Structure 1
Amino acid sequence: MLRYLGSRLLSLCLSLAVASLVIFAAIEVVPGDPASFMLGLNAEPDTVAALRQELGLEGGYVERYLAWTGGMLHGDFGTSYTYRVPVSELIIARLWVSLPLTIFALIISTAIAIPAGVWAASRRGRPADILVMGTTQLGMAVPNFWFAMILVLIFAINLGWFAAGGFPGWEAGFFTALKSLVLPALSLALFQASILARVMRSSLLETLDQDYVRTARAKGLSRRLAIRNHAMRNAMIPVMTIVGLQFSNLIAGAIIIENVFFLPGLGRLVFQAITQRDLIVVESVVMILVFAVILVNFLVDLSYAVIDPRLRRRR
């Protein structure tokens, strides 16, 4: 188990190092000068040079990359070109919106998908199975931003149960703030729940065809107990892989959803920073999002060892 944990930690560190190189290189190849963009077309050359010096845009690529990564290790992400405040303050303020939204959407999609997939697999070929598969096909075909507008039209405008957008802040009360995230989380969860339900069904059907499950059934165990006691644990391994991948999809989808619902999250911050060419904010936020995705995949790898005891004994 310790060797398995060490290999996963090494993989996490290498992934972060490669990701930082790719992000820095992608930002640096963007044409144009941030200082010239901020000051306008008629800015004097010495003014542009002074601003470049202030923003830390002088020096070679290697020097700037090492300064950027070294600062991140100490919690210093630099200063925003536009907001003139430390990037870490912007990230922390917006993270308290994006992270709960992503976790909420992941909980909703998992809570819907796993029971639906198990229900469809236990009734293979019956009307219930056809209904679940048809619904998931529809859920995969509907864009999340279109579904978000439908939810706003029904539950915000017509019924008045939820607000059409905005975020009151956690200081307004936990349930008040959580209520404002219900529609965005549902918009994000629909597509992911459809995929996860189909994966759950396919994985469980494959497990139910294994010899040990048929042997348990032949000994008189009911289908429900055979699924719960024997099939579910092995069927959950590919499902956990998809759950880890869905976290990154939810983060990417949140960029659109946060703009639809006017949520002050990381996705909206990245969108605004791109339009304003605030490159230090873009690369720092993207690095934080990449770290979150890699960390979740690391936790998913550890969950394999919990679900499958064979990984704990593997050398």
Structure 2
Amino acid sequence: MTAFLFQRALSFAISVVVASLVVFVVLEVVPGDPAAFMLGLNAAPDTVAALREQLGLDAPVWMRYLGWIGGIFTGELGTSYTYRVPVAELIAARLWVSVPLAAYALTLSTLIAFPVGILAAARRGSAVDAGVMGGTQLGIAVPNFWFAMLLVLVFSVTLRWFSAGGFPGWDAGAFEGLRALTLPAIALALPQAAILARVMRSALLDTLEEDYIRTARAKGLTRGQALWRHAVRNALIPVLTILGLQFSFLLAGAIIIENVFFLPGLGRLVFQAISARDLIVVRSVVMLLVIAVILVNFLVEIAYSLVDPRLGRRV
């Protein structure tokens, strides 16, 4: 188990370093000069040069990379070109929206998908199974921003149960904050729930065909008892994989939803920073999201070893 953890931790560290190089290089080769963009087309060359020096853009590339990657681990991410405030403060303020939104959406997705997937597996070949498969196929096919607009039309414009957008802040109370995040979370959760339900169903059906399930049935357990006592836990490994990927996607892929609902989260921050060519903000937020994705995958692999200890012993 110790060797397994060491190997995964080393893989995590290497992945972070490689990802940081990719993110930095990709944004470096993007055409255009942030200083020239900020000053406009008619700016004098000496003014542009002075601003480049002020922003640290005149330093060698390797020095800027080392300074940036060192800041990632110390929290000193530099100062935003546009907002003129520390990037760490911008990100910290937006995390209080994006992380609860992702967690809320993942919770809804799990609460929907697990019982639906188990029900479809238990009723394989029935009308219930066909209905579940059809519904999940629709959920996968329809984009989440279309769900978002439909939710706004029904629950905000027609029924007036929720606001159409904006976020009151957690100072207004946890209830008001969660209420503002409900429609965005549902819009994010429904397509992910469809994927997770199909994975849960497939994993359970494969598990129910295993020899130990047949042995359990031969000893007198009903199909339902064998499913709940043995099959569900052993079907969790592929489901954990999807859960980890979903949280990463929900955290990093909510740019469209946050803009639809005007939520001041990381996705909207990245969108605004790209529009303003505030590359230091874009670079830091993207790297933070990359680290979150790698960290979640690392934790999922640790969870594998807890669900099935044989995985840790194979290393």
**Both proteins in one fold, TM over 0.5:** yes
Note if 1:26 corresponds to 2:58. Answer: no
Equivalent pair of 1:121/1:205 in contact (CA under 8 Å) = yes
After superposition, give the CA deviation of every residue in 1:130-169 in whole Å (9 maximum; x if it has no partner).
1110100110111111110100111111111111100000
Q: Structure 1 counterpart of 2:314, which letter?
A: R
Partner of 2:280 in structure 1?
280
Partner Cα separation in structure 2 for residue 190 and residue 172 of structure 1: 27
Asked if the contact 2:252–2:289 (Cα under 8 Å) also holds between the matched residues in 1, the reply is: no
Following superposition, the deviation at residue 58 of structure 1 comes to 1.1
Deviation per CA, 1:225-274, whole angstroms, max 9, x where unpaired? 21111111111101111111112322343100000000000000000000
Aligned ranges for residues 240-255 of structure 1 at < 5 Å? 240-255=240-255
Q: In structure 2, what residue type is equivalent to 1:208?
A: L
How far 1:187 moved relative to its partner?
A: 0.3
Q: Distance in 1 between matches of 2:186 and 2:297?
A: 23
Amino acid at match of 2:229: N
Percent sequence identity over aligned pairs: 68
Counterpart Cα distance in 2 of 1:73 and 1:250: 24
**Alignment check: 8 A CA contact 1:188 1:253 kept:** no
Aligned to 1:179: 179
**Are 2:91 and 1:98 equivalent residues in the alignment?**
no
Partner of 1:267: 267
CA RMSD of aligned residues (A): 0.9
| In 2: Cα distance, 1:261 partner to 1:69 partner | 32
Partners of 2:123 and 2:129 within 8 A in 1: yes
Q: CA deviation at 1:214?
A: 0.8
The corresponding residue for 2:216 is: 216
Residue 112 of structure 2 corresponds to 112
Verify: 1:169 aligned to 2:186, yes or no. no
Mapped to 2, the partners of 1:134 and 1:212 lie a distance apart of 31
Q: Is the partner of 2:253 in helix, strand or coil?
A: helix
**How far, CA to CA, are the matches of 1:190 and 1:59 in structure 2?**
47
Q: Greater CA deviation, 44-53 or 20-29?
A: 44-53
Residues 160-206 of structure 1 deviation map (CA, whole Å, 9 limit, x = unaligned)? 11111000000100011011000000000111111110011001000
Runs of 4 or more above 4 Å deviation? none
Instruction: Within 5 Å, give how 1:112-261 maps onto structure 2.
Output: 112-261=112-261
Q: Could you give the per-residue CA deviations for residues 4-45 of structure 1, whole angstroms, max 9, x where no partner exists?
A: 111111111111001100000010001011000001111111
State how far apart, in whole Å, the 2-side matches of 1:70 and 1:176 are. 38
Please say if residues 258 and 267 of structure 2, whose CA atoms lie closer than 8 Å, have aligned partners that are also in contact: yes
Gaps of 5+ in 1: none
What TM-score results when the alignment is normalised by the length of structure 2? 0.98
* 1:59 Cα deviation from its structure 2 partner: 1.9
**How many Å separate the matches in 2 of 1:201 and 1:148?**
26
Identify the residue that residue 52 of structure 2 maps to in structure 1. Answer: 52
* Stretches of structure 2 lacking an aligned partner (at least 5 in a row): none
Check the 8 A contact 2:273/2:279 in 1, yes or no.
yes
CA distance in 2, matches of 1:301, 1:201: 21
Is the 2:4–2:313 Cα contact (8 Å) retained in structure 1?
A: no
Cα distance, 1:309 vs structure 2: 1.9
3-state secondary structure, aligned to 1:149: helix
Deviation per CA, 1:98-140, whole angstroms, max 9, x where unpaired? Answer: 0100111111111111111110000000011011101001101
* Aligned-partner Cα distance in 2 for 1:168–1:234: 43
What TM-score does the superposition give when structure 1 sets the normalisation length?
Answer: 0.98
Q: Distance in 1 between matches of 2:274 and 2:312?
A: 45
Rounded to whole Å, the distance in 1 between the matches of 2:253 and 2:6 is 32
Letter in 1 for 2:48: V
